[in-house]
Amino acid sequence: MDDSQFEPARAERFVSEKWDDDIVPQLVEYIRIPNKSPMFDSDWVEHGYMDDAVKLMESWARAQSVPGMTVEVVRLEGRTPLIFLDIPASGPETGEDCVLLYGHLDKQPEMTGWDDDLGPWKPVLKGDKLFGRGGADDGYAIFGSLAAIQALKDQGAPHARCVVLIEACEESGSYDLPAYVDHLAERIGKPSLVVCLDSGCGNYDQLWCTTSLRGLAGGNLAVKVLSEGVHSGDASGVVPSSFRLLRQLLSRIEDENTGRILIEGLFAEIPAERLKQAERCAEVLGSAVYDKFPFLPGMTPMFKEGAADQLTELVLNRTWRPALSITGADGIPPLASAGNVLRPHTSVKLSLRLPPTVDGKRAGELLQQALLRDPPNGAQVTLDLEKAATGWNAPAMAGWLEQAIDDASQAFYGKPAMYMGEGGSIPFMGMLGEKFPGAQFMITGVLGPHSNAHGPNEFLHIPMGKRVTASVAKVIAAHHAASVRGQTTGSAVAADSGDRHGDHGCC
């Protein structure tokens, strides 16, 4: 049986029933667990929530009927745990070739602003949406990965060996993952296809695959001016405000009028192909490029003055240009308890997104140089870098994979596949790209309009989860056929890819 004999309708029925009867109930229980990533819960070991999430997924995986599958929770000392699944090939014809499927189970913190009937650890089903933290980012990954493989087995469709990695510190920068990949290197092998279920989608109407990811440099910037707070009426005009000095420092790296980053070393040349793809993506999405966000009445996006194509500019801002966000603050009391005090310090958390091809380490160094030199008024300025991760730009796509992805989108959505860059970061992708330079990548996900990952009212769009799962099954079947034809090796990929990938719209 080859991929042409794969029955999409049967796979779609199998996956839909699996989600309704088994996966959604598991995700409901998973959402209840407040297993925040280590960066947001320094006592995660003592709290035990991460172990609770691991046990839930491990128990479910062990209960699945997948012949020959091994399920293991790998624990390296001092690190977050990792779930490792190994599913043998359906037959010997693909040799040592394999598919690596990736996801994570750690979560972002609560965030404020949830609707009254919703909450981060309160699973709520409303129509086709499952609300709660982590269901879409990225709790569904292990369930979707195994369901895709089970859909193949349900109809006797052959597949290469599959390895599933579910890590527990992605939201903290995946700092534990390299140690696990090295530790498990022989058992993982050399995958020719990497499937990642931790990305976004421009709409819920077609299959979206990610072509690039921004990097990230960030940490805590603190400005201290006093050893203790003092009466503001007595000190203001004599003692510089720590807030004003911090604002002054931020103006070294960002134009407060436009949001443009001022450090030229943080920019990268945008490939011509990506420019064209951004234009096509803007055409497909239209105003959804920005109106997917919950803008207040009267608010406008960061339109570029004089730009002929504002939508394309926004697409490029989100995917190929650096951008700064302040995601937290300290040293500032709530309004209800704010007295007439000139505060001793102000601290903020910087989240600086980087173009995909900018080196994260170098970006962190440039950030430190800009913020720490010549402290204003001799203030005590510190920058504790927490993240300095390089982004990822996809290699040229092999013809067999391009065809498989488009066939999957047509089969399960009735529309052609779309390819887009993402503004977020998945550190795992860059690392895998370096370790397995011959691998192809299918980076996809369910985080579409209004799903609001990391924010309040986060939800999983269940029909999208089902279709992505079925699409992964179709691609794994096509991978088997390509592997048998010898098209998944590094040299074959290069010969098979040509320039076809540039013909697709993406952003």
Structure confidence by residue, pLDDT tens digits, 199-220: 999 999 999 999 999 999 999 9
User: Could you tell me the two tokens for 237?
Assistant: 């005009």
pLDDT of residue 424: 86
Structure confidence at residue 2 as a pLDDT band (50, 70, 90)? low
pLDDT of residue 3: 63
The DSSP H or E segment spanning 72 is: strand 70-74
User: What is the share, in percent, of the chain residues with pLDDT greater than 90?
Assistant: 86
Whether residue 427 is predicted with pLDDT greater than 90 in this model: the reply is no
Can you give the residue ranges of every domain in the chain?
3-213+392-503, 215-268+320-389
For residue 503, give the DSSP letter.
G
Give the model confidence (pLDDT) of 118-148 as tens digits. Answer: 999 999 999 999 999 999 999 999 999 999 9
Whether residue 109 is predicted with pLDDT greater than 80 in this model: the reply is yes
CA distance 454 to 219: 17
Read off the pLDDT of each residue in 96-115 and give the average, rounded to a whole number.
97
Evaluated on CA atoms 414, 415, 419, 424, the torsion sign reads negative
Structure confidence at residue 81 as a pLDDT band (50, 70, 90)? very high
- What does DSSP say about strands 161-167 and 98-104: parallel, antiparallel, or unpaired? parallel
Whether residue 499 is predicted with pLDDT greater than 50 in this model: the reply is no
Whether residue 497 is predicted with pLDDT greater than 90 in this model: the reply is no
Give Rg (Cα) of the chain: 24
Give the model confidence (pLDDT) of 308-362 as tens digits. Answer: 899 999 999 999 999 999 999 999 999 999 999 999 999 999 999 999 999 999 9
Contacts with 209 (C-beta within 8 Å, 6 or more apart), sequence order: 199, 405, 417, 418, 419, 420, 442, 443, 444, 506
Exposure string over 68-96, b if 16+ CB within 10 A, otherwise e: ebebebeeeeebbbbbbbbbbbbeeebee
212 three-class SS = strand
Read off the pLDDT of each residue in 67-79 and give the average, rounded to a whole number.
98
Whether residue 504 is predicted with pLDDT greater than 90 in this model: the reply is no
pLDDT of residue 501: 37
pLDDT of residue 492: 38
What residues pair up with 353 in beta bridges, in sequence order?
A: 216, 323
pLDDT of residue 136: 97
User: Could you tell me the two tokens for 101?
Assistant: 């499927």
From the CB of residue 458, how many other CB atoms can be counted at a distance below 10 Å?
A: 27
Give the model confidence (pLDDT) of 273-305 as tens digits. Answer: 888 888 988 999 999 999 989 999 999 999 998
CA distance 172 to 36: 10
CA distance 199 to 210: 7
CA distance 216 to 443: 18
Of 461, 488, 489, which Cα lies nearest the Cα of 475?
Answer: 488
State the average pLDDT for the chain. Answer: 93
CA-to-CA dists, residue 237 to 223, 231, 283, 340, 342, angstroms: 18, 12, 53, 14, 10
> Beta-strand (E) ranges in 137-256?
161-167, 193-196, 208-213, 215-224, 230-231
pLDDT of residue 151: 98
For residue 296, give the DSSP letter.
P
pLDDT of residue 505: 38
pLDDT of residue 242: 98
Whether residue 230 is predicted with pLDDT greater than 50 in this model: the reply is yes
Structure confidence at residue 97 as a pLDDT band (50, 70, 90)? very high
Evaluated on CA atoms 183, 184, 185, 187, the torsion sign reads positive
**474, 404 contact by CB (below 8 A):** yes
Give the model confidence (pLDDT) of 392-419 as tens digits. Answer: 999 889 999 999 999 999 999 999 999 9
Residue 119, classified by CB atoms within 10 Å of its CB into exposed (0-12), middle (13-18) or buried (19+), is middle
User: What is the share, in percent, of the chain residues with pLDDT greater than 70?
Assistant: 96
Give the model confidence (pLDDT) of 29-67 as tens digits. Answer: 999 999 999 999 999 999 999 999 999 999 999 999 999
Sheet bearing 440-443, strands edge to edge: 70-74, 82-87, 161-167, 98-104, 193-196, 440-443
CA distance 16 to 397: 29
pLDDT of residue 490: 54
User: Could you tell me the two tokens for 307?
Assistant: 């730009």
Side-chain-side CA neighbours of 157 within 13 Å: the count stands at 25
CA distance 507 to 497: 20
CA-to-CA dists, residue 425 to 90, 213, 389, angstroms: 34, 5, 8
Report the top-level CATH class of 215-268+320-389: alpha beta
Whether residue 157 is predicted with pLDDT greater than 80 in this model: the reply is yes
- What does DSSP say about strands 459-461 and 161-167: parallel, antiparallel, or unpaired? unpaired
At the topology level, CATH places domain 3-213+392-503 in Aminopeptidase (3.40.630)
- What does DSSP say about strands 129-131 and 392-393: parallel, antiparallel, or unpaired? unpaired
| Omega of the bond leading into 138 within 30 degrees of 0 (cis) | yes
Evaluated on CA atoms 389, 391, 397, 400, the torsion sign reads positive
Whether residue 494 is predicted with pLDDT greater than 90 in this model: the reply is no
